[in-house]
Amino acid sequence: MAKTYDYLFKLLLIGDSGVGKTCILFRFSEDAFNTTFISTIGIDFKIRTIDLDGKKIKLQIWDTAGQERFRTITTAYYRGAMGIMLVYDITQEKSFENIKNWIRNIEENAAADVEKMLLGNKCELNEKRQVTRVRGEQLAVEYGIKFMETSAKASINVDDAFFTLARDIKCKMEKRMEANNPPKGGHQLKPQVEPRKAPSWLSKCNLF
């Protein structure tokens, strides 16, 4: 059977329990919002294929449990992840503070070059806000990753977040493929220069 996609990207949603990871996944994959809160038991995943810059990209998105007792189960899913979304709840200060612990988990368990994005979810609850947008932006700058505030309930920036992360992964993958397969023909030798990784938001591939 012929492949119906050009790329397959494995993405991961991580963050404390109750920040809305499952709701973000459901909004993106089903364009729906479930008002009933049920904690994810261990791990769950959804698939959605998107069109990006003329390519079909199949996104396999894993939703991890935030509770401590499932932490050992979910660490195995960091392996092979190409993009990770770190989610906190803008109405829960503690979930924001714990992002640093989740970053540490990524550093310990995921590939060194995994693409990361910080999401401040539930931005429709502005009157209950405990974490300012500026603090979210500052934390993202500190770690050199992108940041968006999202609302799974009001469908704000959810698609944008996934498309942006997928575009960053695709850009990085294509650059790597070009480096491994230089164009044939010609005898010009290029000097070997150690590539310097620019912050992801400065990459031309990320401008749209």
What count of other Cβ atoms lies within 10 Å of the Cβ of residue 71? 12
Contact yes or no for 144/177 (Cβ under 8 A): no
Question: Could you read off the pLDDT tens digit of each residue along the chain, which spans 208 residues?
Answer: 567 899 999 999 999 989 999 899 989 998 877 655 455 444 667 899 999 999 999 999 998 765 554 455 556 778 889 999 999 999 999 999 999 999 998 999 999 999 999 999 999 999 999 999 999 999 999 999 999 999 999 999 999 999 999 999 999 999 988 888 876 654 444 545 555 555 544 444 444 3
Q: What is the CATH number of the domain that holds 24?
A: 3.40.50.300
Asked, for residue 199, whether it belongs to a domain, the answer is: no
Asked, for residue 124, whether it belongs to a domain, the answer is: yes
Asked, for residue 115, whether it belongs to a domain, the answer is: yes
| Pick from 145, 190, 197: nearest CA to 176 | 197
The confidence score (pLDDT) of residue 205 equals: 46
How far apart, in whole angstroms, are the C-alpha atoms of residue 208 and residue 19?
29
Asked, for residue 52, whether it belongs to a domain, the answer is: yes
How far apart, in whole angstroms, are the C-alpha atoms of residue 151 and residue 89?
10
Asked, for residue 106, whether it belongs to a domain, the answer is: yes
The residue segments making up the domain with residue 144 are 5-178
The pTM of the full predicted model, rounded to 2 decimals, is 0.80
Q: What is the tally of structural domains in the chain?
A: 1
The confidence score (pLDDT) of residue 32 equals: 79
Asked, for residue 184, whether it belongs to a domain, the answer is: no
The confidence score (pLDDT) of residue 9 equals: 96
Structure token digits, residue 144: 């050199």
Asked, for residue 152, whether it belongs to a domain, the answer is: yes
Asked, for residue 36, whether it belongs to a domain, the answer is: yes
DSSP letter for 65, please. -
| Type and span of the H or E element at 135 | helix 133-143
